[in-house]
Amino acid sequence: FFSTSEKMYKIKTVLVGDISVGKTSLALRFVNDKFDESYKPTIGASFISKIVVLGDGCVVNFQIWDTAGQERYRSLVPMYLRGAHIAFVLYDVTNPESFTNVSFWLEALQHHGDMVKTVLVANKCDCESIVSEEIALSFAESHYLQFVQTSAKTGENVDLLFHRIGAKVVEEM
């Protein structure tokens, strides 16, 4: 498998955003390459991980923390964000309110204070977008966020999302 002498980078990755934007689906698409159409709110602490080899040969263990229904109360427990390297802030392109609430989630991340690389993720891009892509992109630029459009359903850009930001984190570790 991997040689034991090889350094493995552990990257704590957190998913934030409104309920039903596709956080759990995105994590499961990345880790298991599967998608489930039925909606099951995440209950209880959820943690999954995946080891991948990045383009430059770096071995990375993405430790992905999925909210355990905390988004319902809009209160992320500090433990959830503590020590995170990457935060994906998701919205659902078919749900404008979830885009409006991105500001709230960014604030929650800022309160936490740690250096965390943040990506604005426009999920459900397999569907017709109601949120303007142009507005989302300029919002991302003005907040110095990267912007990636994904579909947990088709898998579009899901690997790219993790690999690209993972490489940036490793560079600075």
**Under the rule (CB under 6 A), what is the footprint of ligand GDP?**
19-25, 36-37, 39, 42, 123-124, 126-127, 151-153
Residue nearer to ligand GDP on the CB measure, 58 or 162: 162
Q: Is 98 in the site for Mg ion (CB under 5 A)?
A: no
Shortest approach of ligand GDP to residue 73 CB, angstroms?
Answer: 13
**Which of 27/148 has CB closer to Mg ion?**
27
Query: Phi/psi at 66 (nearest 5 deg)?
Result: -105, 135
At its nearest, how many Å lie between ligand GDP and the CB of residue 47?
Answer: 14
**Alpha-carbon distance 147 to 157, whole Å?**
11
Give the Cα separation of 156 and 26 in Å (integer): 10
Q: Dig out the tokens for 127 from the structure.
A: 């569907």
Nearest Cα neighbor of 67 from 39, 45, 40, 91 is 45
Site for Mg ion in 10-39 (CB under 5 A): 23-24
3 state DSSP class of 77: coil
Give residue number: closest CB to ligand GDP: 22
Taking the complex as a whole, the smallest distance from the CB of residue 85 to ligand GDP amounts, in Å, to 20
Least distance to Mg ion, CB of residue 6, Å: 33
Pull the structure tokens for residue 140: 């991302």
